[in-house]
Structure 1
Amino acid sequence: MNGSLHPPPPQQTLHGRIREDLRERIVRGVLQPNDRVPSESELMAQYGVSRITVRQALGDLQSACMIFKVAGKGSFVATPKPFQDLAQLQGFAEAMNASGHETFNQLLQLRSEPASAAVAQALALARGVPVTAIQRVRYLDRRPVSVDFTWLPQSLGSRIRRDDLATRDIFAMLETDLATPLGHADLAIDAVPAAADIAAHLDIDPGTPVLHIERLTHDRDGRPIDYEHLYCRPDQFQYRLRLHRA
């Protein structure tokens, strides 16, 4: 009789074992970015399995963007995706430049417009009052990674300089130029199919899933000052967050 109250763990599949062994080698740095992964024949001999099993393992790692294949040459370790830590209230350029990445913005729109019902509610304004609307495409290492829509109260947005929007974060301008210290932000995250205009800016097909972030940032006194909708390419960029159990 089995004295354990818990059933034994399920046995790992052969391709799962190979996948996890390779994943561990990549995570631990035994295999570095752009290193060649052992060939299918080498893995077949090492684990005593069929080619189909090896290809399943490699396919899982490729789907997870941990390796990439080069025709006629084999599989190689992928470069880790750049990421931004959502536990810190930072601008995109602030986070990426600190990691050694190149960023710049393509300004699509900077104008005054009447606040829609959603924008007015977010910024605690009356519907129809003028707000500053900003639309940008954010580039990371010369590749488009997000389309950002931002609305600011006119008292702040009217003082934003067009030339600064190509290279600087709005957060940095609010704090440094407009003497408006940031306090906290509320976020909602989901996945949505890319609309045609978003897809065109991100160089993807319409309907491709993108990460959508709705963010409302408040100043140090708790007043809402920056309302945003961000549409990000998940294949080029990550958001990360560390959670602690209460």
Structure 2
Amino acid sequence: MQTSISAARAGTLHQRIQHELRERIVAGHYAPQAQMPTESALMRQYGVSRITVRHALGALEKDQLIFKVPGKGSFVTQPKPFQPLGRLQGFAEAMGAQGHEPFNRLVSLETVAATPQVAARLQLPEGTAVTEIRRVRYLDRQPVSLDLTWMPLAIGTRLAHEDLATRDIFLILENDYGLRLGHADLSIDAVAADAPTAALLDVKTGSPLLRMDRLTHTDDGRPLDYEQLFCRNDNFQYRLRIARHAATQPETP
């Protein structure tokens, strides 16, 4: 039996097919790595031409929901793990809640002189001794990001004795050190991987990376944790939900 389609109500035929297939993928009707219906089957189901079906499948492939294997057909992609940015939380905290296996490889932890940029972010005199931490973040045994962290030396020397392979710094600061985190300012742009970063993340030199610049403050507004995160975009993503209207704020008494 063919599916009824109203072009006037739902746009072009291939857009409607694309929309319905997308809904089935997102809902789990087609599991990751599962084969999609063949072009011929979709032509019969929707009563459309092969070119219409190919337009719909091409759009899904462009959105990275499916991939094509020559001679075999189309298959559902494995969804990318993601970390939502609507809440301030650590990597392991966010990924563990989604059922993933996070792990950090500590590359280095040392005392360095604060560069002008680091000093400005942490509101310290330039050249002040700070702790610099370099970690490669793994998710389900694949490297996803290189995290560079700078902190005041008094906190950093304590962190040197902690298990930074399996624990989030945020949770250590709050649960062990009694420091309440308040908010973070962040910006995201794109950069090309230099040779050392590419080697750590197992990508080619020059590969595109997402770079996040994040400055985390205590609840009383003091800068505490400055980070630069270099993230692969082929196996991980950040997500943010943005409301059109801000939530109603309570009136100040």
Instruction: Decide: shared fold, TM above 0.5.
Output: yes
The whole-number CA distance in structure 1 between the counterparts of 2:207 and 2:17 is 31
The whole-number CA distance in structure 1 between the counterparts of 2:58 and 2:191 is 25
1:66 aligns with 2:65: yes
Deviation at 1:100, TM superposition (A): 0.9
The whole-number CA distance in structure 2 between the counterparts of 1:149 and 1:58 is 40
The whole-number CA distance in structure 1 between the counterparts of 2:189 and 2:199 is 20
The whole-number CA distance in structure 1 between the counterparts of 2:176 and 2:10 is 60
CA RMSD of aligned residues (A): 2.1
Alignment of 1:72-87 (within 5 A): 72-87=71-86
Runs (4+) of structure 1 moved beyond 6 Å?
A: none
Tell me the secondary structure at the aligned position of residue 165 of structure 1.
coil
1:84-121 deviation digits (Å, cap 9, x = unpaired): 12111100001101111101111111100000000000
The whole-number CA distance in structure 2 between the counterparts of 1:101 and 1:61 is 25
The normalised TM-score by structure 1 is 0.88
Aligned to 2:193: 194
The whole-number CA distance in structure 1 between the counterparts of 2:10 and 2:104 is 50
Range with bigger deviation, 80-89 or 19-28: 19-28
Cα distance 1:59–1:198, how it changes in 2: closer, same or farther (>3 A)?
Answer: farther
Tell me the secondary structure at the aligned position of residue 232 of structure 1.
strand
Cα distance 1:42–1:238, how it changes in 2: closer, same or farther (>3 A)?
Answer: same
Aligned to 1:160: 159
- Checking the alignment, whether the CA contact within 8 Å between 1:84 and 1:95 is kept in structure 2 is yes
Tell me, which stretches of 5 or more residues in structure 1 are unaligned? 1-8
Aligned to 1:18: 17
1:140 aligns with 2:139: yes
Tell me the secondary structure at the aligned position of residue 197 of structure 2.
helix
Report the count of equivalent residues.
238
The normalised TM-score by structure 2 is 0.86
Aligned to 2:250: none
Tell me, which stretches of 5 or more residues in structure 2 are unaligned? 1-7, 247-253
1:101 aligns with 2:106: no
The whole-number CA distance in structure 1 between the counterparts of 2:58 and 2:197 is 29
Question: Identical aligned pairs, as a percentage?
Answer: 59
Deviation at 1:216, TM superposition (A): 0.2
The whole-number CA distance in structure 1 between the counterparts of 2:125 and 2:11 is 59
The whole-number CA distance in structure 1 between the counterparts of 2:224 and 2:86 is 19
The whole-number CA distance in structure 1 between the counterparts of 2:152 and 2:183 is 17
One-letter identity of the residue aligned with 1:167? T
- Checking the alignment, whether the CA contact within 8 Å between 1:110 and 1:162 is kept in structure 2 is no
The whole-number CA distance in structure 2 between the counterparts of 1:11 and 1:197 is 50
Tell me the secondary structure at the aligned position of residue 110 of structure 1.
strand
The whole-number CA distance in structure 1 between the counterparts of 2:208 and 2:9 is 33
The whole-number CA distance in structure 1 between the counterparts of 2:211 and 2:129 is 25
The whole-number CA distance in structure 1 between the counterparts of 2:108 and 2:12 is 52
1:222 aligns with 2:221: yes
Aligned to 2:29: 30
- Checking the alignment, whether the CA contact within 8 Å between 2:109 and 2:160 is kept in structure 1 is no
1:210-242 deviation digits (Å, cap 9, x = unpaired): 211100000122110000001111221121222
1:172-225 deviation digits (Å, cap 9, x = unpaired): 121122221111111111222222222222222222222111000001221100
Tell me the secondary structure at the aligned position of residue 80 of structure 1.
coil
Deviation at 1:29, TM superposition (A): 3.3
Deviation at 1:169, TM superposition (A): 1.0
